Amino acid sequence: MTQKFDAIIIGTGQAGPSLAARLSEARKTVAVIERHKFGGTCVNAGCIPTKTLVASAYAVHVAGRGAEYGFAIDGNVRVDMKRVKARKDEIVGRSNSGVENWLRGLSNCTVIQGHARFESSRSVRVNDEVLEADKIFINVGGRALVPSMPGLPDVPFFTNSSMIDVDFVPEHLIVVGGSYVGLEFAQMYRRFGSEVTIIEMGPRLIGREDEDASAAVREILEAEGIGIQLNAECLSLSRRADKVVATVSCKEGTPEVSGSHILLAVGRIPNTQDLGLEQAGVVTDQRGYITVDDELRTNVPGIWALGDCNGRGAFTHTAYNDYEIVAGNLLNADHRRVSDRIQTYALFIDPPLGRCGMTDAEIRKSGRRALVAKYPMERISRAVEKGEIQGFIKITVDAETKEILGAAILGTGGDEVIHVLLDVMYAKAPYTIVQRAMHIHPTVAEYLPTILSKLEPFA
Ligand SMILES: Cc1cc2nc3c(=O)[nH]c(=O)nc-3n(C[C@H](O)[C@H](O)[C@H](O)COP(=O)(O)OP(=O)(O)OC[C@H]3O[C@@H](n4cnc5c(N)ncnc54)[C@H](O)[C@@H]3O)c2cc1C
């Protein structure tokens, strides 16, 4: 049976549901197809569960510092992972059913559960049905990369999706991969009580960040007792009695890391290989990311790709911004483009790292004359009052235009404070505007004008 719609949306990640709502509002008929859980990665296996678990781990950490703040807990702080998981399940469950109920309640919107596969550039098969539309929006996201590694099939391992359902404290968690996902889990489980070792093949953690940010994050994690092995490529995994052993190629440190459990956090891949893209003629790059233009149109007229599957972003906010770009261009007569956006994200360890704009390496490569100011969190009174003095704030500006080029705020509230600078960047205003603003005392943000008064040549 063939059903016709004005639009088909494949996947209910961070772009699809909002686009369905906007199309429904415009009185278009829409079919939304989801093969697994409504809300996709962010809701079910990414941002929401991890940040909920990070919050539990933070509470445990602060409780353990009771003596510093002037209170005592009789006996040790005991983590009940079943309760931790139940709290996470409750918050995730509300979000997941919220997305599903929202979609099912939209007028002109048909929700279908099943795996979608293109049959042509205008048709998609799901279960026994063929759906047709002149406009098809792909929002299929991605999943954890599981590399082919000797021994992997014989060893039980976790990815981000299975790790969030753990309801016990592993004795010794080996985290393979020292980037954003790996570091959040590493710190969280250390705080829950696991011994944790991170194995990272690069010379530093979060290798895309500035060197000073990588070094400071390493110091923060090591201070909590997390073992870190850098320049260590994980070559194979094996089982030895009740242990899992990672064999690594390394110049320093031990060539074998033994633990009770393994988390693989070595990157993500797009869900595009089983979508029948070749039937539709949609082109991908070598890694499987769908090739799109500045308005997220694929090479086939009438087909768009939004979110992680287009390789133009790897965050919930970039996927949502993709929706805004497509809806703006198609339905709001608002010409929006991917190239209008400014890179921004956070690493949600504690303290968090908020980032916007260019990295030091990108600024150097651009050849622009720049100025930079860096300030330690330990000199910011709000951080001192909270007892959270790790990290620093760094802001780089263009020496000629005075526009902010980039910033890193590693410290308490860094994930929020970064938006002060980001919004000034969007306004294309000079940094001096921040210096004229009156900020609230006592906050971290109130120091931004002071920091900007210390700009020096960027080397
Ligand atoms: C552990 C972890 C933590 C993260 N934390 C953050 C964070 O703090 N902040 C942040 O901004 N980002 C974070 N991210 C990234 C964020 O989750 C993703 O960038 C975001 O979810 C991408 O959304 P999306 O719309 O591209 O697709 P997804 O959310 O991946 O959704 C795609 C949907 O499509 C469905 N689907 C796939 N193929 C088909 C098919 N053929 N037919 C039907 N349905 C299909 C899938 O089942 C899925 O539901 C995190 C990611 C992970 C893994």
Distance CA 294, CA 232 (A): 38
- pLDDT tens-digit readout, 297-308: 999 999 999 999
Is the beta carbon of 13 within 6 A of some atom in ligand 1? yes
Is the beta carbon of 11 within 6 A of some atom in ligand 1? yes
Measured in angstroms, how far is the CA atom of residue 216 from the centroid of ligand 1? 29
Q: Which of 417, 423, 424, 422 is nearest to 402 (CA)?
A: 424
pLDDT(339) > 90 = yes
Q: Which of 188, 135, 459, 158 is nearest to 302 (CA)?
A: 135
DSSP alpha helix (H) spans, 305-356: 316-331
More confident residue, 405 or 255: 405
Distance CA 63, CA 422 (A): 34
Measured in angstroms, how far is the CA atom of residue 312 from the centroid of ligand 1? 14
Measured in angstroms, how far is the CA atom of residue 228 from the centroid of ligand 1? 28
Q: In this prediction, what percent of the chain has a pLDDT beyond 70?
A: 100
Q: Where in 242-343 does DSSP place strands (E)?
A: 243-249, 256-259, 261-264, 268-270, 303-305
Segment 388-400 shows an average pLDDT of: 98
Residue 172's SS3 state is: strand
- pLDDT tens-digit readout, 100-129: 999 999 999 999 999 999 999 999 999 999
pLDDT(233) > 90 = no
Segment 37-58 shows an average pLDDT of: 98
Distance CA 220, CA 55 (A): 17
pLDDT of residue 280: 98
pLDDT of residue 252: 73
Q: How far apart are the first and last CA of the chain?
A: 65
Q: In this prediction, what percent of the chain has a pLDDT beyond 90?
A: 96
Is the beta carbon of 181 within 6 A of some atom in ligand 1? yes
Is the beta carbon of 10 within 6 A of some atom in ligand 1? yes
pLDDT of residue 250: 75
pLDDT(313) > 90 = yes
Segment 393-410 shows an average pLDDT of: 98
Among 211-225, 247-261, 352-366, which stretch is predicted with the lowest mean pLDDT?
A: 247-261
Distance CA 83, CA 318 (A): 32
pLDDT(50) > 80 = yes
Q: Which of 404, 395, 402, 407 is nearest to 451 (CA)?
A: 395
* Beta carbons within 10 angstroms of residue 285's beta carbon: 11
Segment 413-437 shows an average pLDDT of: 98
- pLDDT tens-digit readout, 124-160: 999 999 999 999 999 999 999 999 989 999 999 999 9
DSSP alpha helix (H) spans, 11-118: 16-25, 40-44, 47-64, 66-69, 81-104
* Beta carbons within 10 angstroms of residue 336's beta carbon: 19
- pLDDT tens-digit readout, 240-292: 999 999 999 877 778 899 999 999 999 999 999 999 999 999 999 999 999 99
pLDDT of residue 234: 82
Contact at 8 Å (CB) between 227 and 140?
A: no
pLDDT of residue 74: 85
Active site residue 36: no
pLDDT(351) > 80 = yes
Residue 131's H or E segment, with its range, is: strand 129-138
pLDDT(429) > 80 = yes
pLDDT of residue 107: 97
- Ligand 1 atom closest to residue 185's alpha carbon, by position in its atom list: 1
Is the beta carbon of 8 within 6 A of some atom in ligand 1? no
Is the beta carbon of 297 within 6 A of some atom in ligand 1? no
Confidence of residue 341 (pLDDT cuts 50, 70, 90): very high
Measured in angstroms, how far is the CA atom of residue 309 from the centroid of ligand 1? 9
pLDDT(1) > 90 = no
Confidence of residue 18 (pLDDT cuts 50, 70, 90): very high
DSSP alpha helix (H) spans, 299-436: 316-331, 360-366, 381-386, 414-426, 432-436
Q: Phi first, then psi: what are they for 399, rounded to 5°?
A: -65, -30
Q: Phi first, then psi: what are they for 367, rounded to 5°?
A: 75, 10
- pLDDT tens-digit readout, 175-194: 999 999 999 999 999 999 99
Strand 243-249 and strand 256-259: the pairing is antiparallel
pLDDT(75) > 90 = no
Confidence of residue 14 (pLDDT cuts 50, 70, 90): very high
For all residues of the chain together, what is the average pLDDT? 97
Side chain identity at residue 190, one-letter code: R
Segment 201-210 shows an average pLDDT of: 97
Distance CA 124, CA 118 (A): 4
- Ligand 1 atom closest to residue 307's alpha carbon, by position in its atom list: 26
Residue 348 has what DSSP assignment? -
